Amino acid sequence: MWKGELHFQRCTWCRTAIFRRLLCPACASTDLTTERSSGIGTIHHVSIMGRNVGRPWALATIRMREEFSIRAKVLDVYRAHVGAVVCLDSGMEAGSQQISFRPYDAPARAKSAPTRK
Ligand SMILES: [Zn+2]
């Protein structure tokens, strides 16, 4: 459905999901496992950049379904608003500074309960 892959870390001890940190912010453990993200999240904050040069783009803080946050570019600046659901467009293989998201157009479903093991 999308091109890229996005990985994050999960604390082995308290299951907190984290992104690009060396230790767990909740329990300070360094015992982290890498998991693949679903690539779907919700915009929590967005800044519009580049207006002054006539090429606006959106820099968003996205809360992923796995409950970690990531700052990344959103491709459709006019639909990048708080609360919008976005999915991964380009992942880490494009370079760590090139991660981007786009609006997620799947039909709205009944909210799925997060699965916990
Ligand atoms: Zn932890």
Q: What is the mean pLDDT of residues 21-25?
A: 93
Centroid of ligand 1 to alpha carbon of 17 (angstroms): 8
Confidence of residue 1 (pLDDT cuts 50, 70, 90): very low
* % of the chain exceeding 70 in pLDDT: 85
Burial track 29-65 (b if 16+ CB lie within 10 A, e otherwise): eeebeeeebebbbebeebeeeeeeeeeebbbbebebe
CA of 13 to the centre of ligand 1 (A): 5
Q: How far is the CA of 38 from the centre of ligand 1 (A)?
A: 21
> Is residue 2 pLDDT above 70, yes or no?
no
Residues 49-96: tens digit of each pLDDT = 988 998 888 999 999 999 999 999 999 898 999 999 999 998 877 666
- Round to whole Å and give the CA distance between 90 and 102: 9
Domains delineated in the chain: 7-103 (2.40.50.840)
Query: What distance in angstroms lies between residue 94's CA and the mean position of ligand 1's atoms?
Result: 29
Which stretch of 39-48, 55-64, 97-106 has the lowest confidence by average pLDDT? 97-106
Q: Is the pLDDT of residue 9 over 90?
A: yes
Specify the range with the lowest mean pLDDT, choosing from 19-28, 76-85, 93-102.
93-102
| Residue 16 vs residue 107, higher pLDDT | 16
